[in-house]
Amino acid sequence: MIEVKNLVKTFPAQGGFLKQGEVQAVKGVSFSIPASGAVTFIGESGCGKTTIGRILTGLESYDSGEILYNGMSLADLSPTERRDRLRKVQLIQQDPYAALNPSRTVAQSLTAPLAWEAKRQRRSKTWIEDRSREVLTQVGLNPDVVLPKYPHMLSGGQRQRVVVARALTVNPDVLVADEAVSMIDVSLRLGILHLLHRLCTEEGIAVLFITHDVAAARYVGSDGSLYVIYQGEIVEQGRTEELIQSPVHPYTQSLLSAVPVLRGLERPGEDRYIPRAEFTSGDSTACRFALRCRFSQERCRTEKPLVTTWGKDHHRHTCHFPAPRRVVAEPIENERL
């Protein structure tokens, strides 16, 4: 449904006393989001995953590359057509505390976009009310309880559900969920992840899930595709479940290593590896991860790795020395003290 080819985005240099050089946030990324599919982008802060999400929702321009919505290039459309098309791609932002107007009740927050829809579709006022109840029910909230409330009266999880409900008012084809659970208590995260999964499988809405938490990706769509992004490039991609169970790129492996070990129930994987060094921009003529990689060799610092496939499932990676490693925590078999 959405196809992206060789997307490039550079943020210009900033003058003034900050003197930041230009930053290429996205360096030739290609991927596709199938209708009612779940696609996950994973990577650490600053890797460019949010920029890609913003470009897809039309909030950010791009320098080169092509974005095809149902086969039509976004760049060829007239502004009106583009707006109509992008309305079907809704962004769910990270912070449910900032995404809702604190001085509006949930009913008011939902009525505003619905009034637009009603005008476009020539619907009545009762339609607006019915529809706001419908979208709230869709996200698992009780409309009678929630509608009259202000955002501060809701928990983080409930707020995020309201944000999703608001996105649903326009019958979107695609939801771009940018770190949609990272500000929510862990105890309530799964609820939101299950909701996204349900919207995907039952309502046929495609979900682009952007996250830094590998574990969360499984719950949105374990048979969707997973893209691991490092410094604006895709370093590994495959079917979500397979990639999580058998990654071969050291960066993906360190992301998996970072999942906390439940000591007492699990022991850390033998090859667990967390790079301590901060993210530095790597060289474009070498593997960008080489500076932080435990397994890097001479070749990694001189030659840029190409996309290669691995294993039965043919998942793709860019590493000179791919190897499966045991990085995930392993359960301790009921050894009592």
Rule CB under 8 A: choose which of 24, 28, 46, 127 binds another protein: 46
Rule CB under 8 A: choose which of 99, 106, 154, 164 binds another protein: 154
CA atoms within 13 A of residue 225's CA, in its CB half-sphere? 19
CA atoms within 13 A of residue 164's CA, in its CB half-sphere? 32
Q: Does 264 bind another protein (CB under 8 A)?
A: yes
Rule CB under 8 A: choose which of 67, 170, 188, 291 binds another protein: 188
Q: Tell how many helices (H) and how many strands (E) occur in the chain.
A: 11, 14
DSSP states of 13-65: PB-GGG-BPPEEEEEEEEEEE-TT-EEEEE--TTSSHHHHHHHHTTSS--SEE
Q: Rounded to an integer, what distance in angstroms lies between the CA atom of residue 9 and that of residue 27?
A: 7
Closest by Cα among 2, 13, 3, 47 to 27: 47
Rule CB under 8 A: choose which of 8, 156, 171, 295 binds another protein: 156
Q: Does 59 bind another protein (CB under 8 A)?
A: no
Structure tokens at 251: 């960066």
Q: Does 163 bind another protein (CB under 8 A)?
A: no
Residues found in the chain: 337
Rule CB under 8 A: choose which of 275, 291, 304, 321 binds another protein: 275
> Count of CB atoms within 10 A of residue 28's CB?
14
| Residue span 304-333 as binding mask against another protein, x where in contact by CB under 8 A, dash where not | ------------------------xx-x--
Nearer to another protein, 129 or 213 (CB): 213
Sole window of 40-48, 62-70, 100-108, 281-289 interacting with another protein (rule: CB under 8 A): 40-48
Rule CB under 8 A: choose which of 3, 60, 129, 213 binds another protein: 213
Residues 241-260 interacting with another protein (rule: CB under 8 A): 244-245, 254-260
Q: Does 93 bind another protein (CB under 8 A)?
A: no
Q: Rounded to an integer, what distance in angstroms lies between the CA atom of residue 11 and that of residue 41?
A: 20
Q: Do the Cβ atoms of 310 and 322 come closer than 8 Å?
A: yes
Rule CB under 8 A: choose which of 131, 218, 249, 325 binds another protein: 218
Structure tokens at 149: 């409330």
Q: Does 212 bind another protein (CB under 8 A)?
A: yes
Q: Does 122 bind another protein (CB under 8 A)?
A: no
Q: Does 216 bind another protein (CB under 8 A)?
A: yes
DSSP 3-state of 114: helix
Residues 14-33 interacting with another protein (rule: CB under 8 A): none
Residues 168-187 interacting with another protein (rule: CB under 8 A): 183, 185-187
# residues near another protein by CB under 8 A: 51
Contacts 24+ apart (CB under 8 A), 292-298: 293/250, 293/251, 294/250, 295/250, 295/321, 295/323, 297/321
Structure tokens at 208: 């682009």
Rule CB under 8 A: choose which of 119, 122, 276, 312 binds another protein: 276
> Count of CB atoms within 10 A of residue 60's CB?
16
Rule CB under 8 A: choose which of 138, 171, 222, 246 binds another protein: 222
Residues in contact with another protein by the rule CB under 8 A: 44-46, 154-158, 183, 185-191, 193-194, 212-216, 218-219, 222, 244-245, 254-265, 268, 272, 274-279, 328-329, 331
